[in-house]
Every structure is written in structure tokens, then in C-alpha cells.
Amino acid sequence: MRRYKAGKLLGQGTFAKVHHAMSLRTGIHVAIKIIDKEKILKVGMIDQIKREISVMGLVRHPNVVQLHEVMASKSKIYFVLEYVKGGELFNKVAKGKLKEDIARKYFQQLMSAVDYCHSRGVYHRDLKPENLLLDDNGNLKVSDFGLSALAESKRQDRLLHTTCGTPAYLAPEVISRRGYDGSKADVWSCGVILYVLLAGYLPFHDSNLMEMYRKISKAEFKFPNWFPPDIRRLVSRILDPNPKTRISIAKIMDNSWFRKGLGLNAVRRDIKEKDLATIDTDAVFGPHENSSTSAEPKQESANPSNLNAFEIISLSAGFDLSGLFEANDQKKEVWFTSIQPAKTIVTKLEDIAKRLKMKVVKKDRGLLKLEGSKEGRKGVLSIDTQIFEVTPTFHLVEVKRSGGDTLEYQKIMKQDIRPALKDIVWTWQGDRPQPQPLQHEQPELQPSQVVQMQVASPQNPQERNCL
């Protein structure tokens, strides 16, 4: 901090504080995000912070908050960011709807930034007015890439699978937990933002979270009477619940309403490669830190993925959302809970794979892939098993067919996998939990427990719609 003079506190969260500061060398005003290393190490957020650093180093755009540099001490990490003092766009919308020309200007700048991010393989995944800042000249700046994903995060199906974001801005396919295209999900969020800017309230809102999800899944919303036909047509094409037919960014940018007032020199993908920063994320944490993104060969690990609130809700009895999105009743996955350690679960799955002559491929985030050795009617059978930690003494395991014949998968599940897992399973999806011997430690969280979530209310702009 000898290079910067720290000023007033701008904001504070669970793991970080943001201060206004000034460079002692150049006199430029910046914002410094100070992250507590010990706290993020304890909750396993190293990879998330590394990803945020990598993403912000990749995107250099006039409508994205710029990362100047990253510094680190033994106990802190310092993000030196562009200082955007105009505040959140949310504060403007909280006062009511914006004029059409102003809303269009912000939307043009938002799409320019998002289009560029996608060209760099970056998907924001939490676009909302609270994460859009305004500078002195009233220009929009996209911020907070903490939940963003890189193209390399996609699985073999070329889709993202982590359910994250803010409920009212989530695309239907993200809620469904069936995998989603990050670019199409971002486009949906931009459509919700456009609606909010022009209407002054959310298109999808309900005090009952599940009812709000149902409305999102069906794109069930109404236009205010002051929306002209051209805006209605554009918003309807963006808020298309089918990601395959949802309008693309390129077509949004060619839309006649969008292009009004847009100069010929509009910013798109015109940032030169030499302007992009490369930051050594491992150096921020030091070579001694144990992280899956380390340059050293990765050790096979049984570390489970943390289960977030969206996933607990969508998997818990009575909160299964799959019926809103699936045309048939035949699911590709089932799940079970266990009060055994993650290593015990992994060992059991490896034993089953060995007995079935299947190869085990270990991935990060508690994912194990079981692959058959013979070609079936529809290719080689492949089964994904992913371990989620709900509490240190309670795990949830998802078992899903990722390749091969459905009938072969169902047969092997019924005759081999389920019987072989009976010693470690506490309860299967849809079953009642069986009493456990007294020597087992009881889990802290029962599957039937409800996870409380806070959803923003347009009537109360002070409420934040976040988990």
C-alpha cells in the first residue's frame, strides 16, 4: 500500500472491503478491493478469486471496469480497479423507469461490453443493474466478475453446469440444471435489464420463489402499456425461454430500435491483443497454496464441490424444478445422500467401477466419470457422479448418464450400482431416510429442510435480490 494513499471505505462484504485510493505516483483515483486470504482459504474460494483475476485481465473494454494491477501480502490480496464514482445503475432505476433514449444508450453499451466478453470466452453470469456502474460522463461499466466463467469451464457437452446468479435475472435453462450456454444465459439477463430500465420494475416477480421460477420458465410476463411495438418485439425475442431460438447478440445489434443514435464508430471487438493484461494468479497466492489451478501436476482428489443454495433447492424433495422444463418423465440423473466422508464415497465408486470393468476419470469439483469398455447400441456407456458437500458430515451425490444407451444405464443402476452403494447411502432421491446406527454422527442438515432465500422486491429497492 506504499504506492497508494487509501481513502474512505466504499463498501464491505463477507470476504472483502473496497476503499477509494489515489496513486502516489500518478495521482489517479482508483478503487482498491482488499480480500482477506485466510477467509477465502477456509471456504475454498481460491479458484474463484483466481478466475476473477484471470477474467479481468482478459477483458479490456471501455464499458468494463478495468483492473489496473493485483498485489498480495501474506494475509491480503489487493485488486487495484478503475474508480467509477457515478454509482450503480440500480440506484437510477430504483427511482423509476428511464427515458427511452437513456435506456437505449445504457443497453447499447451493455451489449457492446458483453459481446466483447463473449469474444474472449468470458461469460459474466450475474448481469443485473447492481453490477452496472456509471462514470462521470454517464457511461456504463460492467463490474463484479466474481461468478463469471471461462470457455474452458465447459464440460464435454460444451455447456456450463453451475447454477449461480441472481434469481430474478436467471435464464430458464440455468434454473433447470440441465447445462446451459453461457452466452445465451447472459443475453437473457440483458433482456431482463432492458425491461427493468424501461419499465422501472422486474418482468418476473413473485413473493413465492417457486412461482417466480415457473413464470421465468414459461417467459410469463406482461408489457407496460407505454412499451412501443418495436421494443415489445425485441424484448420478446430476448426473453425467449428456448435458448436455441433466443436472439443472438449480433442480431440484437442489427435491430433497428437498438441502432438508433448509434454512431458508425460504435465500440465492438476492437481492443488490440497487446492491450490485454496477463496476470500470474498463482503468484498472488504463492507456490505453497494448494489449488487446482496450480502449475504443478494436479493430484487426484476426492474434494467435493460445495453445494450452493440454488442446487439444494432444486434437488430437495418438493422443490424439484425439472417438471417445468422437461417434456418427458424420464430423468437422466438420480441422487443420494450420505453421511460418509467424501473419500469413502469415492473409494466405493471406484470399487464399483472396477467390478463393472469401467474406467474411472477424476475431475475437479468432486466429479468422477465412469466409462465403459465396450461399445453399446448408442456408444460407450458413460456415467458422471458428482459429490457435493452440504455440511462436513453430510454429502449429496448426483449420478447421471452422460453417454450411451438409456436402457443399459437403467439396468446397471438397478442391478449393480444401487445395491453396491447400500452400505454408504443414507437415502435415495424420493425415499424416506432409514434410521442409522448410533455410532454414526447425524447430519446437521436434513434433505427436507428449507433453504431461505432473499429475493429483491421492486416495491422495496433497498432489498437486494441475492442468495
Q: What is the pLDDT of residue 452?
A: 37
Which range, of 78-82, 118-122, 262-266, 447-451, averages the lowest pLDDT? 447-451
H or E element at residue 315: helix 309-315
Q: Please state, in angstroms and rounded to a whole number, the distance separating the CA atoms of residues 461 and 295.
A: 45
SS3 64: strand
Give residue 298's pLDDT band: very low, low, confident or very high (50, 70, 90): very low
> Does the pLDDT at position 289 exceed 90?
no
Q: How far is CA 415 from CA 192, 375, 403, 409, in A?
A: 47, 20, 19, 10
Q: Please state, in angstroms and rounded to a whole number, the distance separating the CA atoms of residues 232 and 136.
A: 31
Instruction: Tell me the β-bridge partners of 466.
Output: 454
Closest CA to 117 of 171, 63, 178: 63
Is residue 33 annotated as involved in ligand binding? Answer: yes
Q: What is the mean pLDDT of residues 326-350?
A: 76
CB-based contact 239:188 (threshold 8 Å):
yes
Q: How far is CA 133 from CA 104, 281, 373, in A?
A: 16, 26, 53
Alpha-carbon Rg for the chain, nearest whole angstrom, is 24
Q: Please state, in angstroms and rounded to a whole number, the distance separating the CA atoms of residues 196 and 95.
A: 12
Q: How far is CA 292 from CA 35, 281, 298, 366, in A?
A: 20, 12, 6, 12
Q: Please state, in angstroms and rounded to a whole number, the distance separating the CA atoms of residues 239 and 227.
A: 15
- Strand runs labelled E in 73-215: 76-82, 122-123, 132-134, 140-142, 149-150
DSSP 131: G
Which range, of 125-139, 187-201, 446-460, averages the lowest pLDDT? 446-460
Listing DSSP states for 74-106 in one string gives SSEEEEEEE--TT-BHHHHHTT-PPPHHHHHHH
Q: What is the mean pLDDT of residues 92-118?
A: 95
Q: What is the pLDDT of residue 55?
A: 86
**pLDDT digits over 438-457, tens only?**
444 444 433 333 333 333 33
Tell me the domain boundaries of the chain. 4-83, 89-270, 305-428
Does domain 305-428 match CATH 3.30.479.30? no
Residue 377 CA, chain-centre distance (Å), reads 35
CB-based contact 61:271 (threshold 8 Å):
yes
Q: Please state, in angstroms and rounded to a whole number, the distance separating the CA atoms of residues 434 and 137.
A: 63
DSSP 413: I
Q: Kindly state which CATH superfamily the domain 4-83 is placed in.
A: Phosphorylase Kinase; domain 1 (3.30.200.20)
- Give me the half-sphere count of Cα atoms (radius 13 Å) on the Cβ side of residue 421: 26
Q: Please state, in angstroms and rounded to a whole number, the distance separating the CA atoms of residues 237 and 244.
A: 11
Residue 284 CB contacts under 8 Å (≥ 6 apart), including other chains: 49, 50, 53, 70, 72, 77
| 51 grid coordinates | 478466475
Terminal CA-CA length for the chain: 33
Q: Please state, in angstroms and rounded to a whole number, the distance separating the CA atoms of residues 176 and 254.
A: 30
Q: Please state, in angstroms and rounded to a whole number, the distance separating the CA atoms of residues 408 and 405.
A: 5
Q: Kindly state which CATH superfamily the domain 89-270 is placed in.
A: Transferase(Phosphotransferase) domain 1 (1.10.510.10)
> Does the pLDDT at position 361 exceed 50?
yes
pTM, two decimal places: 0.65
- Give me the half-sphere count of Cα atoms (radius 13 Å) on the Cβ side of residue 107: 32
Give residue 216's pLDDT band: very low, low, confident or very high (50, 70, 90): very high
Q: Which residue type is seen at 339? A: I
Q: Please state, in angstroms and rounded to a whole number, the distance separating the CA atoms of residues 265 and 259.
A: 12
Q: What is the pLDDT of residue 49?
A: 85
CB-based contact 167:455 (threshold 8 Å):
yes
Catalytic positions, please? 126
Give residue 64's pLDDT band: very low, low, confident or very high (50, 70, 90): very high
Task: Determine how many CB atoms are found less than 10 A away from the CB of residue 61.
Answer: 24
Share of the chain above pLDDT 90, in %: 37
Instruction: Tell me the β-bridge partners of 386.
Output: 367, 398
Block residue for cell numbers 412501443: 228
